Amino acid sequence: MSVGVLLMTHEAVGKALISAARHVMPKLPLDIDAVEVPPSADPDVMRTLTAKHARDLDHGDGVLVLADLYGATPCNIGLSLSELGVHLRCVSGLNLPMLLRVLNYSEKSLPELAEIAASGGRGGIFIDHA
């Protein structure tokens, strides 16, 4: 068994990040999917659709939800999935280093992957002082 990964993003972000991850790692070690929320989407409809995606990704170890922006609709939908019985951890601030770090530690548990995601996201930020 392994943790599933669900990207909850605004339009075009999630699928682009999965594509970039596949460029770096042609065979992704975890089941991953993206739900991209259009601006005009009905949150209740999106919640139902997203719950199905999350359940499909959960093979017994839970789902790591990686959201692009805390407090925005995609993140709020992801967070609400626990109310629908989905075993998950949610980390916001999604970036490519965060996603790659998670994929490089695919054997870790859900709580560990949530911490790895946060650390990877922060660690991927670099300021050039030249």
Dihedral of CA atoms 104, 121, 119, 123 in degrees, nearest 10, equals: 100
> What does the pLDDT look like over 40-54, one tens digit per residue?
999 999 999 999 999
Name the 3-class secondary structure at 127: coil
Res 130 pLDDT > 90: no
Res 1 pLDDT > 90: no
Name the pLDDT band for 62 (thresholds 50, 70, 90).
Answer: very high
Question: What does the pLDDT read at residue 101?
Answer: 98
- Measured distance CA(122)–CA(93) in Å, rounded: 9
The average confidence (pLDDT) of the chain is: 97
- Measured distance CA(61)–CA(69) in Å, rounded: 25
List of residues 6+ apart from 70 with CB closer than 8 A: 92, 93
Domains within the chain, CATH numbers bracketed: 4-123 (3.40.50.510)
